[in-house]
């Protein structure tokens, strides 16, 4: 275990595993570029160790250059890539191999692709020591991969946390906290709010409801609340960035929590990715998306009955109720697919008594916490 600044990291990838991955990359480069005099371009700062080892293993003539770019602050990517040191060589008509220490979001590659296209290179390939397939959403091909890894924050072998850790000869991942984080979904009338209240007490979790967070920020005229209200007043959807920032602020308020129940969030894949990134920076993750599943006719019956006392007009009109249910399915289909790909989706029967539904949900959560 090591500590860099305020965070603890635990061993993750050994020096021997890194050496093997580099040997495999070098073999492929030697097979493909023998006698072709490629120019290797290392992406600083992170690739300096990786680039050095690759070049030492390359057996033909070659040139090497570097470009310095960056999109990270601390444990999070800013999404904005800055070119800090440009290329000095003439690249027109040259064969290029980009050497990256790690490819995650792909933001850096998009910018480098633009630079190389404008420079008129004959062709280029990307060789990366580490690749996070679950985080990569760009179209730039990554042809040569040393090792695929999960979307975890890592340091060592050129990778840093706020400037520290680059000189480590093996790779460490942030020490994971023992948190349980749930995304709770359910159609209107499924009893999601009731179950969230029960579960937060039973498992000592923080319940974060998107609706409650929006109402609080707007009522108290916070900076984020005023920003959200400006869109709502125009009849526009609140941008993902504003919603994400609101939810991140709620998470930050509860440092040291045992975990969270996210209610009504995320709603889009971009929000789901942002939530994953935010929790990853805290050394944890979304453990499961749990969706209450109830037959439509039962939902309609429940809501019409609730409408007799709730005073909500959308609980009293069957046509409106059925449309709300339809909208729910269309919205959550994207999220269901997102979490199913990670084997984190759990559908739970939401019919029966409150106690019976709680027991089913608890069974899933208890298994997750083992």
Q: What CA dihedral angle connects 71, 77, 78 and 83, to 10 degrees?
A: 10
Phi-psi domain of 191 (left: phi exceeds 0; alpha: psi -120 through 50; beta: other): left
Residues counted in the chain:
370
Task: State the average pLDDT for the chain.
Answer: 88
Given 174, 192, 200, 282, which residue is catalytic? 192
pLDDT digits (tens, 9 = 90+) for 135-186: 888 999 999 999 999 888 899 999 999 899 999 999 999 887 678 999 999 8
Query: According to CATH, where is 3.40.50.2020 located in the chain?
Result: 2-174
Instruction: Give 352's DSSP letter.
Output: S
Q: What is the pLDDT of residue 363?
A: 95
Whether residue 324 lies in the annotated active site: yes
End-to-end alpha-carbon separation of the chain, Å?
A: 23
pLDDT digits (tens, 9 = 90+) for 319-352: 888 888 888 888 778 889 999 999 999 999 999 9
Task: Report the percentage of the chain scoring pLDDT > 70.
Answer: 94
- pLDDT band at residue 268 under the 50/70/90 scheme: confident
Whether residue 360 lies in the annotated active site: no
- pLDDT band at residue 75 under the 50/70/90 scheme: very low
pTM for the whole structure: 0.59
212, pLDDT greater than 70: yes
pLDDT digits (tens, 9 = 90+) for 222-237: 998 899 888 888 877 7
Average pLDDT over residues 122-143: 93
3-state helix, strand, coil in the chain (%, to 5): 45, 25, 30
84, pLDDT greater than 50: no
311, pLDDT greater than 80: no
Q: How far is CA 192 from CA 241, 302, 322, in A?
A: 25, 13, 17
Strand-pairing partners, residue 154, are: 173
Whether residue 28 lies in the annotated active site: no
Whether residue 326 lies in the annotated active site: no
Which tops the pLDDT comparison, 268 or 207? Answer: 207
Instruction: In whole angstroms, give the CA distance from residue 205 to residue 251.
Output: 12
CATH of domain 180-369: 3.40.50.300
For domain 2-174, the CATH class is alpha beta
Q: What is the pLDDT of residue 79?
A: 53
Given 36, 312, 326, 341, which residue is catalytic? 312
Spell out the residues 6+ positions from residue 39 whose beta carbon is closer than 8 angstroms to its own: 62, 63, 64, 65, 89, 91, 94, 95, 96, 97
Q: What angle is formed at CA 89 by the lines to CA 88 and CA 90, rounded to 5 degrees? A: 130
- Whether 77 and 70 have beta carbons less than 8 Å apart is answered as no
Given 138, 166, 267, 336, which residue is catalytic? 267
Given 138, 229, 306, 322, which residue is catalytic? 306
Query: According to CATH, where is 3.40.50.300 located in the chain?
Result: 180-369
């Amino acid at each position: 275990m090591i500590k860099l600044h305020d965070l603890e990291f635990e061993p993750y990838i050994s020096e021997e595993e890194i050496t093997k991955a580099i040997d495999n990359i070098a073999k492929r480069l030697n097979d493909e570029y023998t006698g072709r005099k490629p120019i290797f371009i290392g992406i600083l700062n992170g690739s300096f160790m990786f680039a050095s080892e690759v070049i030492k293993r390359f057996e033909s003539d070659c040139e090497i250059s570097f470009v310095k770019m960056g999109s990270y602050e601390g444990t999070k990517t800013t999404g904005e890539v800055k070119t800090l040191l440009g290329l000095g060589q003439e690249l027109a008509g040259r064969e290029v191999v980009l050497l990256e220490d790690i490819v995650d979001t792909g933001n850096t590659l998009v910018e480098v692709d633009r630079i190389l296209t404008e420079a008129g290179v004959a062709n280029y390939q990307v060789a990366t020591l580490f690749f996070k397939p679950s985080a990569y959403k760009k179209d730039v091909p990554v042809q040569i991969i040393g090792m695929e890894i999960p979307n975890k924050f890592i340091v060592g072998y050129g990778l840093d946390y706020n400037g520290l850790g680059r000189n480590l000869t093996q790779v460490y991942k942030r020490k994971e906290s023992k948190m349980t984080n749930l995304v709770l979904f359910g159609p209107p009338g499924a009893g999601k709010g009731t179950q969230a209240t029960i579960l937060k007490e039973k498992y000592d979790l923080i319940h974060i409801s998107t609706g409650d967070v929006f109402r609080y920020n707007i009522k108290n005229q916070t900076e984020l609340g005023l920003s959200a209200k400006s869109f709502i007043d125009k009849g526009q959807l609140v941008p993902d960035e504003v919603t994400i920032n609101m939810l991140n602020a709620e998470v930050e308020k509860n440092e040291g929590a045992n975990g969270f129940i996210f209610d009504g969030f995320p709603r889009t894949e971009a929000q789901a990715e942002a939530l994953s990134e935010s929790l990853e920076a805290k050394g944890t993750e979304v453990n499961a998306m749990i969706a209450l599943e109830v037959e439509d006719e039962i939902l309609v019956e429940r809501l019409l009955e609730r409408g007799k006392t709730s005073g909500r007009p959308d609980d009293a009109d069957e046509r409106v109720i059925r449309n709300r249910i339809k909208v729910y399915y269309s919205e959550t289909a994207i999220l269901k697919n997102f979490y199913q790909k990670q084997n984190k989706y759990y559908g739970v029967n939401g019919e029966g008594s409150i106690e019976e539904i709680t027991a089913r949900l608890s069974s899933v959560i208890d298994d997750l916490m083992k």
